[in-house]
Structure 1
Amino acid sequence: MATDPAVVAGAKQIVQRCLGLSKGQNLLIFADSTTSELGSIIAEAAEELAIQSTIIFVPIPLQRRIPNELDLSLLAQGAAKEARAILTCVNPSPDCLPFRHRILETQWSARTRIGHMPGGNLKVLKLANVDFNKLIADCHCLEIVLARGRTLELVSTAHAGTAHHLKVDIGGWERLPVASDGVISEGVWGNVPSGETYIAPIEGSANGSVVINGSIPGLIIKRNEQIVLHFERGRLTYIEPDNPTAQYLQEKQIKQAMDKGDENWRNLAEIGIGLNPAVHRLTGNMLFDEKAAKTAHIALGSNTFMGGRVDSAIHCDMVIKAPTIIVDGKTLVHRGRLRFMESEWRESYTQVSLLESPLQAATSVARSGTEAVSQNHLLSRVLRPEPGRVSACFIGNDETSKLAHGLYGLLPRDSEWMEISDLFGSSNSDPDTVRRVLHLVWEYGLINYR
């Protein structure tokens, strides 16, 4: 096994913490010629933890043919169905994207956890050796903002000091974000190691420009070779200047889509925010770069695998250094530094003004049918942003979420209407408190009123 302690620790973190495996369980690793050493090290780490591992080597030429020309072998499919966890340690080439989707989007079993590591190498293992508790907390802070927010503005700055503004609609519950914290639950998939939160903006909504000053796939951008991307109605209209960076992007990414007659490559597919402090420098490998703390990234092309509606031959991430991100007029990130204010996004019911609330005059409420769950007597809205992804957002701060849990539990499960006045006595809360808490439960989409 590799002797670098950080590599060994990271490999074990992926097996135990990210994939949640324990003694006696089994792990299936898909690898190819670019990742054989990485796959072997992870397999050895698993064996040291008494976790059985199997590596299936899929040559890159074969990946290019799956699933359009042929499918995974029955032997590989059988192994995937039996595995408690699957890890895709394969190359990140755009023309192998359908192969990766074949593995990620198949529900092999209700309990299978799938870790995704396209372009992984030994350095990526060091990214897993971080303070997971802080990383998880930061990812989910951003998740609640992007879930509740309606408009997002990404501000980037060219080396000459010119500010560029890109504005998008993020839906306000209509389009859900992904908190990719690297900890994968049963029956879902996620990037490992991770440290980002991202969202697919509403199609057709992006307008403005953005400076790409960090990296694109395969290239670290030099200070004097930054590019500016211009968008109208959700689609890239032009890139300036025509410098080596723009030419590289055209040749390595855009041309692959255009050669297939794919015009959806122009779609603004994603906006994401990196949070992993273990990424100390950009490399041109998006598995690293899009996770880097103090960065944001956008992507062109496909977003169907993250809750979007556009399919494309490419998904091309591009990194922006020192961004400022504003959601609904509130600064979330300033020059790359997280500025999350809990009071703005996980507010107390005491902050609700009944004079401005429709719940002030409402007489009845009913469950909306939107999925909710209670954890430790705290009410959350369940988020399913894409196939195989499940998360949850607490309703307000802890005190509010606890009160919401009590009120929501009193409502009929069949979505029948209940008089609000009946909740006053049953909940042991005063009428104004009941209406304020109900207002937030309604804002999270869990109830209707009349």
Structure 2
Amino acid sequence: MKLIDVSRTVMEHVLGIEEGEEVLIVTNPGEVLEISLSLFEAAKEFKAKPTVIVQDAKGALDYAERAVIEAIKSEPDIVISISEKKLGKDPYGINIGYVGRDNKKYSHIFEKLLRGDKRIRAFWSPGITKEMYLRSVPIDYEKLREEAKILAEILEKGKEVHITSEKGTDLWISIEGRKPLKDDGDFRKPGRGGNLPAGEVFISPAIGKSEGVIVFDGTLGLGGESIIPNDPVKVYVENGFVTKIMGGEEVRKLEEAIKKAEKMALDIGKEEYAKNSWHLGELGIGLNPKAQMSGKLLEDEKIRKTIHIAIGANYDNDAPALNHYDCLIWHPTVEIDGEVIMKRGEFTIF
């Protein structure tokens, strides 16, 4: 397949684009621009109104250009971020904040319009490459959506998750009262959005209610970049917060990334953000059948046989932070309220 072929699939089966709709594509120079231009051309074929805006690459703690923020504020029907690293933070959102129609506070205009107001639909692909786009975006979305639905229903009814692995993970996470989210490639209605490549179900752990040990033996997210550790990284968790990290040289990189986010939060007077830099913000379960280990977290966290846990901000917006660093566990066993849903990386529910 060519880029344009995949982009047609995205427009039709993922976004359900309609004639006359406004599409904003935010991107960077380089390889991601080629993908963005193929999406531009595909949108035109469906008689939509696409616009591409190009900014320099932004890291996890960098601010987006003002023109990008203003373009999102124009409330196009669809917003697409095809970035080398990240879209970029919103300075007004971080320092003052937006209140959505749901009366929740958001630190980015994008999040307010998507989740708070449900005025736009979107997808975002931080760190995507052409190879990844061609490999793991054209999949059977109907099957993915069915599997994601089954998994989300189990999580929604669940209260406690127990995760173990042969490498030493032994972690308990409370999910009582939390709502799972699906990244199932169904972004056809306002308020819906997620990654491409798609393929995960995820949930925010209850605040302060995770305990145990995590052994990360897959990709470590460091915010705009990621590494595959040579040796497993052991993370100790108490009352929902990371208290100690042990392992090889990768430990230093992970700790430095978290401390950088913590310091930036303190520098702007956000003590709550600084504290939550060390909180567990997500449990995600991979579902994409074509995703492969690429060293790019965008794809790696979608791999079947893996789960990932994020350190930093959550998706319920009640534990805000400047970081959200996903890290992978290979071949885990996952139990929800005593029911095994995954055994050594293999699903037992479908």
| Residue pair 2:26, 2:68 contacting (<8 A) in 1 also | no
**Greater shift in the superposed pair: 228-237 or 122-131:** 122-131
Counterpart Cα distance in 2 of 1:60 and 1:26: 24
Letter in 2 for 1:155: T
Corresponding residue for residue 152 of structure 1 = 161
Corresponding residue for residue 195 of structure 2 = 192
Corresponding residue for residue 230 of structure 1 = 236
| Residue pair 2:4, 2:41 contacting (<8 A) in 1 also | no
Corresponding residue for residue 15 of structure 2 = 19
Counterpart Cα distance in 1 of 2:109 and 2:125: 14
Classify the secondary structure of the residue corresponding to 1:225: coil
Q: 1:110 to 1:333 in 2, by over 3 A?
A: closer
Counterpart Cα distance in 2 of 1:320 and 1:86: 31
Superposed displacement of residue 128, structure 1: 1.8
Classify the secondary structure of the residue corresponding to 1:259: helix
Superposed displacement of residue 132, structure 1: 0.8
Higher helix fraction (1 or 2): 1
Counterpart Cα distance in 1 of 2:202 and 2:118: 25
Corresponding residue for residue 25 of structure 2 = 29
Number of residues paired by the alignment? 319
With the length of structure 1 as denominator, give the TM-score of the two structures. 0.65
Superposed displacement of residue 97, structure 1: 4.0
Q: Which runs of 5+ in 1 are unaligned?
A: 342-450
Superposed, 1:61-72 pairs within 5 Å as 64-66=62-64, 72=68
Superposed displacement of residue 105, structure 1: 2.2
Percent identity over the alignment is 26
| Residue pair 1:219, 1:283 contacting (<8 A) in 2 also | no
Q: Which runs of 5+ in 2 are unaligned?
A: 92-106, 267-273
Q: 1:52 to 1:290 in 2, by over 3 A?
A: same
Corresponding residue for residue 278 of structure 1 = 290
Superposed displacement of residue 284, structure 1: 2.5
Corresponding residue for residue 268 of structure 1 = 280
| Residue pair 2:63, 2:89 contacting (<8 A) in 1 also | no
| Residue pair 2:226, 2:297 contacting (<8 A) in 1 also | no
- 1:320 and 2:329 correspond: yes
Q: 1:101 to 1:338 in 2, by over 3 A?
A: farther
| Residue pair 1:170, 1:200 contacting (<8 A) in 2 also | yes
Query: CA deviation digits over 1:155-183, x for unaligned, max 9?
Result: 1222xxxx321001100xx1100011011
| Residue pair 1:6, 1:125 contacting (<8 A) in 2 also | no
Q: 1:213 to 1:188 in 2, by over 3 A?
A: same
Could you tell me which of 167, 170, 176 is aligned with 2:172? 167
Could you tell me which of 179, 204, 228 is aligned with 1:221? 228
Letter in 2 for 1:225: D
Root-mean-square deviation over aligned CA pairs = 2.6
- 1:338 and 2:342 correspond: no
Query: CA deviation digits over 1:162-206, x for unaligned, max 9?
Result: x321001100xx110001101114221322321100000101111
Classify the secondary structure of the residue corresponding to 2:113: coil
- 1:118 and 2:126 correspond: yes
Q: Specify which structure has the bigger relative contact order, considering alpha-carbon pairs within 8 angstroms and separated by 6 or more residues.
A: 2
Letter in 2 for 1:273: I
Counterpart Cα distance in 2 of 1:93 and 1:214: 21
Query: CA deviation digits over 1:332-364, x for unaligned, max 9?
Result: 1111111117xxxxxxxxxxxxxxxxxxxxxxx
Q: 1:77 to 1:129 in 2, by over 3 A?
A: closer
Corresponding residue for residue 309 of structure 2 = 298
Counterpart Cα distance in 2 of 1:86 and 1:310: 25
